[in-house]
Amino acid sequence: GQQVMQIPQYQHVQEGEDFTTYCNSSTTLSNIQWYKQRPGGHPVFLIQLVKSGEVKKQKRLTFQFGEAKKNSSLHITATQTTDVGTYFCAGRNAGNMLTFGGGTRLMVKP
């Protein structure tokens, strides 16, 4: 079945440093979504990417969908303590199955 791998599992950064999490699918995706979960909370939808090579930005967050539509990345520029949480990617295949990655937990030292 479809597998979605997300790396790294954990990342400690100093406030102000950049952060990137990567998502790789075993199959071609029709779209990919990114979620953020704050400690003690539930995942909150951030964005959806649909087109091959698509790049979208939300303030300090940059989301990219690979040309082959099998990988994606989330990059945060100049992290802040408010960025703390776990970031999940979720890939949807042609059969409409949504598979979540394992998540990357971001910890930011002030």
Partner 1 sequence: GAVVSQHPSWVICKSGTSVKIECRSLDFQATTMFWYRQFPKQSLMLMATSNEGSKATYEQGVEKDKFLINHASLTLSTLTVTSAHPEDSSFYICSARDLQGANEKLFFGSGTQLSVL
Residues at the interface with partner 1 (CB under 8 A): 1, 33, 35, 37, 39-40, 42-45, 48, 86, 88, 90, 96-100, 102-103, 105
Nearer to partner 1, 21 or 86 (CB): 86
Nearer to partner 1, 64 or 93 (CB): 93
**From CA 39, how far away is CA 35, in angstroms rounded?**
13
In whole angstroms, the minimum distance from the beta carbon of 45 to partner 1 comes to 3
Nearer to partner 1, 60 or 102 (CB): 102
Cis? peptide before 8, omega within 30° of 0: yes
Report the DSSP beta bridge partners of residue 71: 24
